[in-house]
Amino acid sequence: MSADRGDVLLAIARAEIAGAFAVRHEVDESAPWLQEPGACFVTLTRHGELRGCIGTLEAYQSLLRDLKSNARAAAFRDPRFPALTKAELPHVAVEVSLLTAPELMEFRDEKHALELLRPQEDGVILQFAHLRSTFLPQVWEQLPTPRQFMAHLKHKAGLPTDFWSPEVRLSRYTVEKWKE
C-alpha cells in the first residue's frame, strides 16, 4: 500500500474518534479498497506513551468498518485506560497497522520457536487452551530479544513467563503501519 493509503486510513481513524465528540473532520471514504476485507489495529499515543490500542487479528469485515470500530474502541474501550477526553484529542497521535493474515508457525519446542521469530518484523499470536495474546511488530522496540518478547507475550496471556507446553500455538503476521 502507498503512503496515500496511509493518509486515508489515518484521517478516517482520527475523524471517527473526533466524531464521538461532535468534532467534524471531512474525510473521503470512497476508495474501493476500503470495502475489501481487512484487519487492522489502531494505536493511540500521548506524549510518546501508549494511550489505547485495539485491533482485529483476522479480516472478517470491510477494512473501513474494521478501522472505524477499532479507532473508537482504542479511544473509548481499551480496558487498560480511561476513555479518551475531548481535551486530550489534540495531543493524541494515531497509528494504524494493517495486518497480513496470520500464519501458523511450525516448531519443535520453545527454543526452536524463539529461533524462528523475526525481530522487528513479526507480530505474534500466542494461544494456549482458552488463553490468547498478541504483540504487534512494533513491540520489538521495547522488547528486542525473542526471549523477552515471548516472556512478555506469555505474561500478557496470563501465563507465567517461564511457561511452556507442547500445546502452545504460535502464529505470526506482519504489518504495514502509518503514524501521524
* pLDDT tier at 109, thresholds 50, 70, 90: very high
Report in angstroms the alpha-carbon separations of 156 from 6, 85, 87, 132, 161: 29, 26, 30, 8, 9
Give residue 25's pLDDT.
Answer: 87
Give residue 175's pLDDT.
Answer: 96
Give per-residue pLDDT as tens, 76-94.
Answer: 999 999 999 999 999 999 9
How far is residue 116's CA from residue 105's CA, in Å, rounded to a whole number? 8
* Alpha helices, H only, 22-145: 63-76, 110-116
Write down the pTM of the prediction. Answer: 0.91
Domains of the chain: 3-99 (3.30.700.20), 103-174 (3.30.1490.150)
